[in-house]
Amino acid sequence: MPVSVGLAYTGRPRTHLDPRSKLAFFIAVNTIGLGAAFSGSGAAARVAVTVLLAVLLAAEGAWLWSASAVVVTTVGLMVYAWLPPVGWAMPLVGLVNLMARFWPVVLMGCYVISTTTVSQFIAALRRLHLPASFTIPFAVVMRFLPTLAQESSGISEALRSRGLRLGAVKPHTWLEYRLVPLTMRAVAIGDELTTAALARGLDRTVERTSLARIGFGPADWLVLTAALTVIAIWALAPWTPIDPAAGK
């Protein structure tokens, strides 16, 4: 479960997609990537999702990641069609299958996180009429995760520099050394965050405004339509899969 973002994004995203259409496409990638078959309508859905994902990644200049999506899906479909999972090929087929299922989802997750600012997320969630009891903790988590990951690696480094490795001290001691400082830091930073947020009027009940630029453009309608179409085609039209091994 990657917390750090593999798609190293620094600066402004080059394309402007609304967080809501990103989320819709994320759900499409998740559903198709994890659930769809590698033949018939499932394969068609996989191709469609992969092409759109590759275009989105390429638009951000992430050429390598974009290419990796295409390669993984192509190899996945080819292996499924031509390599029956018997004998020596069995572990290979299993591995390729797993990669082809999970990699697009990981890529899409990185894409969503690295191209969306917290304020955009919040503005979008609020437009979806989610209550404050959900949006406030969500904002805190998004703001907090990088800080905590940083604290966690700092604690890990401090332990290493003192030679307190998992082998050198007993597991429960090591666990204590890892978890207690992290928790203490979390609570301390949380208190500061609360004060800062209250000072900026987070507890006011009036409707909040946001400088985050969100809204639907032509690209959004395209992505949204594509996401819904792909899911609909996959769910409603289960073609009979052409069995590659039937003739053998």
Partner 1 sequence: MEQSVESKTGTRALIETGVFTALYVVVLAVFGQLGALVPILQVLGPLYIPFVCGVPFMLFAARVKTFGQITIMGVLAAALVFLTGQSWVMLVLAAVLAPAADLIAKAGDYRRFTFTLVAYVVFSEMLIGMVVPLFFLRQSFISRIGKRHDSAWVDTLVNLTPPWMFWVMIVMIAVGAVGGAFLGRALTRKHFRPAGLA
Q: Which residues bind partner 1 (CB under 8 A)?
A: 1-3, 26-27, 30-31, 34-35, 84-86, 101-102, 105-106, 108-109, 112-113, 132-134, 136-141, 144-145, 148-149, 152, 175-176, 179-180, 182-184, 186-187, 189-190, 193-194, 197-198, 202-205, 243, 245-246
Continuous H helices in the chain: 19-35, 40-59, 63-82, 89-115, 118-127, 132-161, 171-199, 218-236
- Closer to partner 1 by CB, 13 or 85: give it: 85
- Closer to partner 1 by CB, 60 or 151: give it: 151
Distance CA 118, CA 197 (A): 14
**Minimum CB distance to partner 1, residue 211 (Å):** 21
**Minimum CB distance to partner 1, residue 228 (Å):** 16
Taking each helix axis from N to C terminus, what angle separates 89-115 and 40-59, rounded to the nearest 10 degrees? 40
Distance CA 20, CA 156 (A): 37
- Closer to partner 1 by CB, 78 or 89: give it: 89
**Minimum CB distance to partner 1, residue 218 (Å):** 26
- Closer to partner 1 by CB, 136 or 219: give it: 136
Which tokens belong to 93?
């087929």
- Closer to partner 1 by CB, 221 or 239: give it: 239
Distance CA 26, CA 230 (A): 12
Which tokens belong to 66?
């974009």
- Closer to partner 1 by CB, 144 or 219: give it: 144
**Minimum CB distance to partner 1, residue 197 (Å):** 6
CB hemisphere CA count around 53 (13 angstroms): 37
98-101 long-range CB contacts below 8 Å, 24 or more apart? 99/72, 99/75, 100/38, 100/46, 100/72, 100/73, 100/75, 100/76, 101/33, 101/34, 101/76
* Cα angle, residue 40 at apex, residues 25 and 51 outer, rounded to 5°: 35
- Closer to partner 1 by CB, 130 or 221: give it: 130
**Minimum CB distance to partner 1, residue 110 (Å):** 9
**Minimum CB distance to partner 1, residue 246 (Å):** 7
**Minimum CB distance to partner 1, residue 159 (Å):** 13
Distance CA 96, CA 118 (A): 35
